[in-house]
Amino acid sequence: MIAIRDAFGAALAELGEKNKDIVVLDADVASSSKSILFGEKFPDRFFNVGIAEANMFAMAAGMATKGKIPFANGFAAFVIRRATDPITSLIAYQKLNVKICSTYAGMSACYDGASHHALDDIAFMRAVPNMTVIAPADPAETRIAVEAIAEFQGPVYLRLSRAPSPNVFDSSYKKFEIGKGVKVLDGNDVSIIASGYMVYKSLKAAELLKKQGINARVVNMHTIKPLDKDIVLECARQTKAIITVEEHNICGGLGSAVAELLAQNDVSAKMRIIGINDVFTESGDYEDLLDKYGLSAQNIYDTVLKLV
């Protein structure tokens, strides 16, 4: 297993070789975000601004107006809680080409507790006009997501975990396209739509369901905004039941996005949202926390059985 942050750092360093317009800013967490790998190779294009997230994004906005492609890195919890003003009023309002890279998303800063857990970031970023929101499923997808957002014009929020991640895809995976979900397992009884590490958990749940004669479709919704309308509506119409799974508050995240889409298109399907049930989370071992808050393959399995 490779940590998604390690895959991100390696991809960023490789990208620096190909594109001289890329600059990297970090809020004094370069060793944790792994942006240090870029900094070691390209010190003249790397800026450690200190523990000053709001200032970092204001600097990134200025660099973007001069044709640079800033990748600005920080812990997800502090990006959201300390830098919403420049992200909204400078970057998003002007559609500046800044890549907001948030590591330690979800509960992956496990032992640091609620102050460092980022479970509201998707909700905020979804509500910001002009913002694209991406949460890769594994290291392989993280690498190609970094390349894709570098080519994409406009602000992007890239949500990255600290934790080691099992592989969903192998190194030859090249299917990533912003705004297009990926069907990683087919099935006609229920659709499980997941993002981030929860894609792997959903695949494990699908294995358990198969033993009960239930064929689950698993969709990797790596782009949460813009949501892939076509694949969601296809799932609803073909399986008639949808479960969303995310390492995020159930308010305002992937589940909310899917529910909003179904409501706006008058499509009827049974649906459940699996996520953090609007509580502050505790400190502890990462896998233990996922189990405690219902983000386990077993809970996905149990929820499907109740639904279908």
**Catalytic annotation, residues:** 53
- C-alpha Rg value of the chain to the nearest Å: 19
d(CA 236, CA 76): 32
Long-range contacts of 180-183 (CB under 8 A, 24+ apart): 180/223, 180/228, 180/231, 181/219, 181/220, 181/221, 181/222, 181/223, 181/228, 181/231, 181/232, 182/219, 182/220, 182/222, 183/217, 183/218, 183/219, 183/220, 183/231
Tokens at residue 253, please? 């995240």
CA angle, residues 38, 39, 44, in degrees to nearest 5: 115
Task: Report, in this order, helix, strand and coil percent for the chain, each rounded to 5.
Answer: 45, 20, 35
Contact at 8 Å (CB) between 189 and 215?
Answer: yes
What residues pair up with 136 in beta bridges, in sequence order?
none
Q: Which residue has the tokens 């895959």?
A: 7
